[in-house]
Structure 1
Amino acid sequence: MRLIVGLGNPGGKYARNRHNIGFMALDEIHRRNSGFQPWRARFQGQVSEGRLGSEKVLLLKPSTYMNESGRAVGEAMRFFKIEPEDIVVIYDELDLPPAKFRMKKGGGHGGHNGLRSISAHIGQEYRRLRLGIGHPGDKKLVSNYVLGDFSKADQDWLNPLLAEVADQAGLLAEAKDSQFANKMTLALEPEKAQRGNKAASQKPEKAPKPKQQSHIRQARQNKPAAKLPKSGPMADMLKKLLGGGDNT
């Protein structure tokens, strides 16, 4: 069983907030991937069970409000005996520009209260999908900014981002994070992906190793063989040693 958690605040008042992009991502995964059960209340949240690729998956949207998200995650984790490495948390990231994303495993909470709570309940070794929402430019504006709704103009990048997360969610479930990131980049930033492939193809070939000193080998090959005595006691002894003497 894999656990994919989306972070946000419950209730219609917060539904379109920037802080709720994790909830939005899970709703899109649920909508675009057939086979998931209807949402139901469980583990202090809303859950839906289904399959992504070859993996059985539980989607979880905590109903505890952002600051207590770890209570719901910890309860579901303990019930299904899920390891932290099999948990993916999707959340908003102020320090990434809108439409950008990053995959990461482990680390600190970076000031995000949802992560702070989860880490307190299950440790830090879970995987994270950070979805960029941009920064208002002033720390004093952060609270109103994250609890504000996405604008109509934001839909131009938000909808493709969420759709791609949902389409590639099977790779998340299978813990193929690098492949997930590559697919996302190819779909959302094709120019960047093309530049990366071009740079890789233009890497200079490794210089061939310098040949050993061939003149030394040649000199050794051309070195005249030592002359052996043709007769006398020494010659007789050598013939016996080398098998060239008479057997009588």
Structure 2
Amino acid sequence: MTVFKDRFAGRTAIVTGGASGLGKETARRLVAEGAKVALWDNNPETLAAAADDVGATFSVALDVTDADAVAAAAQSSHQALGGRLDVLVASAGITGATVPVHEFPLDSWRRTIDINLNGLFYCCRALVPLMLANGYGRIVNVASVAGKEGNPNASAYSASKAGVLGFTKSLGKELAGKGVIVNSLTPATFESPILAQLPQSQVDYMRSKIPMGRLGHVGESVAMVCFMASEECSFTTASTFDTSGGRTTY
């Protein structure tokens, strides 16, 4: 990992899904580059270990589908970070069931949409006012190539991530000119704990769709997230950045 010294000096960030995978590694790099970071995750045991590992300033165990809990966490994190918020990386998510639509369990559909889309909305709704108060902010919403192309037997995940892309476009245009930049990331499959939620056949299918012929590395997506979260990303908003190994080129 190439660290850009002090790129986030004086900046503060909240990372959801911060106990593992892309969220945790993004938090690690933000801290390494000078940011004060609060981690949010729904697993209190892994969250505590992750916060200690990456050097987070603060952590909150919560379910992002609970709008009241998100609002409370926004206030406590804002205070713990010194009364300002510069960056939100919304990476909390699940895959949901891996079955055809006509066999899809209703509870899995609802839970996947609730975490991946509704939860992301609750986070942005609670945190945008804190950024507007300072006239500065960077929001990175983690979506997926599945939101662009759709993966068979992953309808809830694909639909939720397509929703994230549409939401990002809307929010980015709302905030354009107000100092708050909003973009989304659409990674192809990369090595991550979330793969444990999928059958190997699904992982193999997704790898087969990547022209580079391999899964991504988490550091490749972390690097893109950190650019999107930085001051350098100043004239692109309501947009999507790919880390897909050539799978999506639009």
Q: Specify the TM-score bucket, using the shorter chain as the normaliser.
A: 0.3 to 0.5
- When normalised by structure 2's length, the TM-score is 0.39
Computing the radius of gyration from Cα coordinates, the structure with the larger value is: 1
- When normalised by structure 1's length, the TM-score is 0.39
